[in-house]
Amino acid sequence: MPSAEIITIGTEILLGEIVDTNAQYIARQLRDLGIDLYRKSTVGDNINRISQAIQQALERSEIILTTGGLGPTVDDPTRQAVAQATGKALNFRPDLWDQIQSRFERFGRKPTENNKRQAFIPEGAQAIENPVGTAPAFIVEEGEKIIISLPGVPREMEYLMEQIVLPYLKARYGLTGLIKTRILHTVGVGESQIDELIGDLETLNNPTVGLAAHSGQVDIRITVKADSEEKADNLILEIERELRIRLGDWVYGTDEETLEGVALQAVKNMDWSLAIVEYGLGGRLINRLSSGISPDEKDLEILFKGGEVLTELASPEELLQIADRFRKDRQTNVCLGVAIFDGEGKQVIHLVLVTPDKIQQKVRSYGGPPEYAPRYAVNISLDLLRRLSSPIE
């Protein structure tokens, strides 16, 4: 199984001015192809540093993919850097220049002289025509290793990746397997507690099991390598069943399922409507619930009647009074009130759930960084909603 590295090129990415979505996209494509991704890195627009990053990557991996730096300007140095890293000259390719000119003609424009830079690629490289942009891509083969340089414009990169690069990699390495993942989402339990319950599964080689903790939530990633999708699904299912047995109702969903979506579905299952009152969360709970409604779940909009962000709140008792009054004013079945108060060296989160037949209250302490307390409060609030049919703990 070949290994790969991704090098994203661009000072604007390195400085955080734009978000690198290309590396995420390429990583998923490689994963689905069964290629092990060992490293992702970002380098600014500097020929020597890019060249050094490529040389180091070639010492570790068989496949190096770069994105960005193939434009016509002086600060687009990828072609020169790849040539320098591999000890090759840059050669002008008349056929690429013809393609670039034809591309401009289709837009009713003429290329400038600096566009000619894009027709230079390292000696012996395999050119990749770019029908959706002006920057040709290329592949440099170095014995058993390869460097694939793609444009940084996402739609161009994605098109070339799907149409040219993935078929090329399949043919070159005889790839028939795949890597598949599934994410189990949990809430209401800490990472260390989960680790204690499933630690033996985290030592497996195939599938592998790993944890990713967030404030109030922990994701469990199952990754499997297999010769077919059916085998991969069966291996994942076997581990998923075991995880669900051990973790019980802490697991609220998989993959693209969200906690807010599951919470709203629980309200819908009760045939109820919902309103929110919050204090100290900055509107985060209301926003999560509003954004948790996907285009194919517009019926959930009817049951969420919005909420109110309180600017003043004297006590948890007042929170209960306001939530009860707000439920009646909005004519909803349920009102959830949540507030964050300062405690001694910690944040104290109060929740109150007012339903047609009862009032439930819950208190949780949060000892982490205060700025993360609102996120934690949102997650435990949504967890409370998804358990509407269960007694409060």
Q: How confident is the model at residue 392 (pLDDT cuts 50, 70, 90)?
A: very low
Nearest CA-CA partner of 235 in 186, 196, 182, 271:
182
Q: Contact 32/164 with Cβ under 8 angstroms?
A: no
7: left (phi over 0), alpha (psi -120 to 50) or beta: beta
Q: How far apart are the C-alpha atoms of 126 and 115, rounded to whole Å?
A: 19
Burial code (b: 16+ CB inside 10 Å, e: under 16) for 153-192 equals beebbbbbbeebbbeebeeebeeebbbbbbebbbbbbebe
Lowest average pLDDT, out of 38-52, 106-120, 162-176, 235-249, goes to: 106-120
pLDDT digit string, tens, across residues 210-222 = 998 876 789 999 9
pLDDT score of 393 more than 70: no
Residue (of 165, 153, 15) closest to 76 by Cα position: 153
| 332 backbone dihedrals φ, ψ, rounded to 5° | -110, 160
| 270-281 residue pLDDT tens | 889 999 999 999
Number of Cβ within 10 Å of residue 317's Cβ equals 11
What is the band of 209 on the pLDDT scale with cuts at 50, 70, 90?
Answer: very high
The CATH class that applies to domain 259-386 reads alpha beta
Two structure tokens written together for 362:
């819950």
Beta strand spans in the chain (E): 3-9, 36-43, 63-67, 90-92, 120-122, 126-128, 137-142, 145-150, 178-187, 208-214, 217-226, 251-254, 274-279, 304-310, 334-342, 347-354, 359-366
Residue 342 has pLDDT above 90, yes or no: no
* The CATH number, out of the four listed (3.40.1410.10, 3.40.980.10, 2.60.120.10, 3.40.605.10), of the domain defined by the range 3-173: 3.40.980.10
Sequence spans of domains, the chain:
3-173, 179-254, 259-386
Query: Is a pLDDT exceeding 80 seen at residue 333?
Result: yes
Q: Structure tokens of 15? A: 């400085």
Identity of the amino acid at 132: V
pLDDT of residue 85: 95
Q: Tokens in use for 144?
A: 């058993």
Computed over every residue of the chain, the mean pLDDT equals 89
Grade residue 390 by pLDDT with cuts at 50, 70 and 90. Answer: low
DSSP structural state of residue 215: T
| 286 close to 326: Cβ distance less than 8 angstroms | no
Least confident of 228-237, 299-308, 362-371: 299-308
Minimal CA–CA distance to 352: which of 341, 343, 363? 363
Could you tell me how far CA 219 lies from the centroid of its own chain? Answer: 12
Q: How confident is the model at residue 125 (pLDDT cuts 50, 70, 90)?
A: very high
Residues 6+ apart with CB under 8 A from 75: 11, 45
For domain 179-254, is the CATH number 2.40.50.140?
A: no
The pTM (predicted TM-score) of the whole model is: 0.69
What is the average per-residue pLDDT within 370-379?
Answer: 90
- Identify the CA nearest to 120 among candidates 147, 104, 100, 145: 100
User: What is the strand order of the sheet 274-279 is part of?
Assistant: 304-310, 274-279, 334-342, 347-354, 359-366
Contact status, residue 339 vs residue 322, Cβ threshold 8 Å: no
159-169 mean pLDDT: 93
Structure confidence at residue 292 as a pLDDT band (50, 70, 90): low
